[in-house]
Amino acid sequence: MGKSAASELLRQHNVPTVDTDILARQVVQPGQPALQQILDAFGNDVLSESGELRRDVLAVKAFSDTASRLRLESILHPPIRALWHEQVAKWEKQGRPTAVVVIPLLFETGAERELDATICVACTAATQSRRLSSRQWSAEQTRQRMDAQLPIDQKIAKADFVIWNEAGLDVLWAQLARVIEAR
């Protein structure tokens, strides 16, 4: 949809931003408790010879059925949530008037209840499909990930603000700037 591009633009314009996709990579680094929990739940074959998580192998297992995906989410979401809460608390202590937490599964996890406002970055299904194709996922892998999320029309209905991301980065930034100013 463009949340990564939006997040990068916010950072470039000095808006404090934390991206939970980045936090998700941090909580599975070697030595982190979540990595061991993943190994216990999904097996040692999700670990590379160098001790790093093989996200591609894990994804095949986790997205194979709903129970596996929910098991992975139960491992990852609590430490990710703790980290972004910690960051938000730091920003509050610093007196930052505006900050952004990028959460791909915002409404699916109920995290919107913990935030002052929500923004949905959206685009057409054709644009989304084109953007996802750059990730080199199979059609089945793309479908599995899409099925794990609320449909975009439901996200739009739940969001406080909607950013329509079909144009260039300048248009994306102009929309983001209006939302920031409105807050």
pLDDT of residue 74: 97
pLDDT confidence of 138, banded at 50, 70, 90?
confident
Q: For domain 1-16+99-183, give the CATH superfamily.
A: P-loop containing nucleotide triphosphate hydrolases (3.40.50.300)
Picking from 113, 128, 100, 123, the residue whose alpha carbon sits closest to that of residue 158 is 113
pLDDT of residue 99: 95
**Both tokens of residue 79?**
């430490």
More confident residue, 159 or 151: 159
Model confidence, pTM: 0.87
Q: The tokens 């209905």 sit on which residue?
A: 157
Question: Which of 45-59, 84-98, 123-137, 158-172 shows the lowest per-residue confidence on average (mean pLDDT)?
Answer: 123-137
pLDDT of residue 47: 96
Could you tell me where in the chain the CATH 3.40.50.300 domains are found?
1-16+99-183
CB of 101 closer than 8 Å to CB of 84:
yes
pLDDT > 80? residue 113? yes
**Both tokens of residue 65?**
């059925």
- The percentage of the chain sitting over the pLDDT mark of 90, rounded to a whole number, equals 74
More confident residue, 141 or 113: 113
